[in-house]
Chains A and B, each alone.
Chain A
Amino acid sequence: MGAVSITLLFILIVLGVPILIAIFMYNRLVTLRNRSDNAWHQIDVQLQKRADLVPNLVETVKGYAAHEKGVFEEVTKARSIYSQAGTVKEKAEATNMLTSTLKTLFAVVENYPELKANQNFLLLQEELSGIESKIAYARQFYNDIVMTFNNTQQVFPSSIIANTFGFKPREYFEIEETKREAPKVDFK
C-alpha cells in the first residue's frame, strides 16, 4: 500500500511539474503577446493623430505660401501612402517618408516670418512636436516589450512552447532616429 502510493506520488511529480512549468511559460508568452499588441496600438494611435494633423497644417501653410505646391503635394502623397500601410514594416516606411516631407515643409516655413508668428501655426507645430515625441516614447515602449517577447520565444526551454503553439516573433518598429534637440516653439 505504502509502496503504491509512493510510486503514484512519484509519477504525479514527474508528470505534474513539467506540465506546470509548461502552463506557466505558455501564459507568459500570451501575456507578452497581448502587451506588445497593446504597445503597438499606442504607436498606431499617435501615428494616426499625426496623419490627421497634416491636412490642417497644409491648409495653414498654404494661406501664406500658396505657390510652394511641390512641397504640399509631397506631404499629401506621403500621408495617403501612410493611410494605406498595414503591417508594422509598411507603417514604419510610410512614417519615415512622412517625417522627411514634413521636415521639408518646415524648412520652407522658415522663409515666411509672418507664418512663424501665426498663433494657429504655432499650436499646430507644438501639437506636431508633442506627437512626435509621443511616437518616440511609444516606439521605445513597444520595442522593449517586443525584445522581451522575442527573447522568450528563442531561449530554451520556452522556445519549445513557442514552437508548439506557433508563437511568431514580432517586428521591431524601426524609424529613422531623429537627433535629440529641443524644438523651438515660441508663443510670444
Chain B
Amino acid sequence: MVYEEISANKRKSFLLLFLFVVFFLFVGWVFGQAYGAGGAGVLIALLLALFISLITFFWGDRMVLGISRARPVDRKQNPYLANVVEGLAIAAGVPPPKTYVIEDSAPNAFATGRNPQNSAVAVTTGLLDKLNRLELEGVIAHEMSHIRNYDIRYATFVVILVGTVALLSDWMRRSFFFRGRRGKKGGAGGGLIMLIALLLAILAPIVAQLIRLAISRQREYLADANGALLTRYPEGLASALDKISKDKEPLEAANKATANLYIINPLLEHKGKLNDLFSTHPPVEDRISRLRAM
C-alpha cells in the first residue's frame, strides 16, 4: 500500500513539473506574440522553465527552509530533538532527516526534501517548549510518514512551482493593466492575444489553488494513521494536534505558499465556512477523533 503511495507521489511530482513547463511555454508564446518577438519568447520560456525545475528538484528543500527562516541544529545543540528524530527514523526504516528549528513561539512543524535520503524536518521553538516527549514523538512520526511516502517531494514542488506561477501571473496582470491604459498598438489579432493573456492572468491563480487543494487533505489523514502506527501510541499525536490547534499565535514565517506543508494550518484565518472549503488541511477535530478511535 505504501509502495502505491510512493509511486503515485513520484508520478504526480513529475506531472506537476511537466505542467509547469507547459504553462511557461504557453506564457512565453503569448508574450512572444504580444510583443512581436515570435519564437524567441517560447525559447526563453523553455530555458527559464528548465532552469527553475532543476533548482526546484535539487534545492527546493533549502528554499522552503530558507523562506521559513529555519536554522539547522545538530545533536550537540539539541540532543532531545535529535534523539526523537533518530528514534522515529529507526521505526520508519529511513535514514534520519536533518533537523531544523524555527524561532517562533507558535507550535508547528513540517518536513521537506526530495527523497528519504535528502530530507529535513523543521520544528518551531514553540513546539519544543509546549509539547512533552510523547506528543513531540507523535508529531515527528507524522512528518516521518510524509518523508517515507515521498509526500515531501510533491509538497515541496507545489510550494516552489505554484508559488512561481502565482508570482508570475500577479506580475502579468499588472503589466497588462499598464499596457492597456497606455493605448492599443496592435490590430484585431493583437487584441485577441491580449484577451488570452488577460484570461490566463486571471485563471492562473485559480488553477494554482486547485492544484494545492488536490494534495493535502487525504494525505494528512494518512500521515496521521501511519504516524500512529510508528509510535504505536495514537494519543501522543492526538494530544499534540489538540495543543497546536488551540494555540492562538500565528506563525510569522509561514505564508500562503508554505502553509500546506505544516502539520496544522499555521495561518489563523480558517474560521469561515468558505475557508473550510478551500482549506488545505482537514478539520483538526476530525483528525483528533480519528486518532482517538484507533
- Which chain A residues have a beta carbon within 8 Å of chain B's beta carbons? 39, 42, 46, 123, 126-127, 129-131, 133-134, 136-138, 140-141, 180-183, 185
Please determine whether A140 and B232 come into contact, CB atoms closer than 8 angstroms.
yes
Docked Cα-Cα span, A137 to B233, in Å, equals 12
| Subset of 29 A-B contacts with CB under 8 Å | A42-B90, A46-B90, A126-B83, A127-B83, A129-B133, A130-B80, A130-B82, A130-B84, A130-B86, A130-B87, A131-B83, A133-B83, A134-B83, A134-B86, A136-B87, A137-B230, A138-B91, A140-B91, A140-B232, A141-B90, A141-B91, A141-B93, A180-B134, A180-B233, A181-B134, A182-B133, A182-B134, A183-B133, A185-B80
Give how many B residues have a beta carbon under 8 Å from the other chain's beta carbons.
19
A137 partner residues in chain B, CB cutoff 8 A: 87-88, 90-91, 230
Q: A130-B84, A180-B134 are in contact. Are A138 and B79 (CB under 8 A)?
A: no
B274 to chain A, nearest CB (A): 39
B132 at the interface (CB under 8 A from A): yes
Closest to A43 in B: B90
Identify whether the interface residues of A are mostly helix, strand, loop, or mixed: helix
Q: Which of A39, A46, A123 contacts B79 (CB 8 A)?
A: A123
Please determine whether B132 and A182 come into contact, CB atoms closer than 8 angstroms.
yes
A120 to chain B, nearest CB (A): 12
Contacts A126-B79, A138-B91 supplied; 19 other A-B pairs, CB < 8 Å = A46-B90, A126-B80, A130-B79, A130-B80, A130-B86, A133-B137, A134-B86, A134-B90, A136-B87, A137-B87, A137-B230, A138-B90, A140-B91, A141-B91, A141-B93, A180-B134, A181-B134, A182-B133, A182-B134
Docked Cα-Cα span, A181 to B230, in Å, equals 16
Docked Cα-Cα span, A185 to B80, in Å, equals 9
Docked Cα-Cα span, A17 to B134, in Å, equals 50
B79 partner residues in chain A, CB cutoff 8 A: 123, 126-127, 130
A136 partner residues in chain B, CB cutoff 8 A: 87
- Which chain B residues have a beta carbon within 8 Å of chain A's beta carbons? 79-80, 82-84, 86-88, 90-91, 93, 132-135, 137, 230, 232-233
Docked Cα-Cα span, A167 to B87, in Å, equals 30
Please determine whether A129 and B83 come into contact, CB atoms closer than 8 angstroms.
yes
Q: Which of A123, A126, A185 counts the most chain B CB atoms within 10 A?
A: A126
A123 to chain B, nearest CB (A): 7
A141 partner residues in chain B, CB cutoff 8 A: 90-91, 93
Question: Lowest 9 CB-CB distances: which A-B pairs, in order?
Answer: A130-B83, A137-B91, A182-B132, A182-B133, A134-B87, A133-B87, A137-B90, A138-B90, A182-B134
B134 partner residues in chain A, CB cutoff 8 A: 180-182
Q: Which of A42, A127, A130, A180 counts the most chain B CB atoms within 10 A?
A: A130
Docked Cα-Cα span, A134 to B137, in Å, equals 11
Docked Cα-Cα span, A127 to B87, in Å, equals 12
Closest to B135 in A: A182
B143 to chain A, nearest CB (A): 15
B137 partner residues in chain A, CB cutoff 8 A: 133
Docked Cα-Cα span, A68 to B274, in Å, equals 66
Docked Cα-Cα span, A127 to B132, in Å, equals 16
A39 to chain B, nearest CB (A): 8
A130 partner residues in chain B, CB cutoff 8 A: 79-80, 82-84, 86-87
B82 partner residues in chain A, CB cutoff 8 A: 130
Closest to B230 in A: A137
A133 partner residues in chain B, CB cutoff 8 A: 83-84, 87, 137
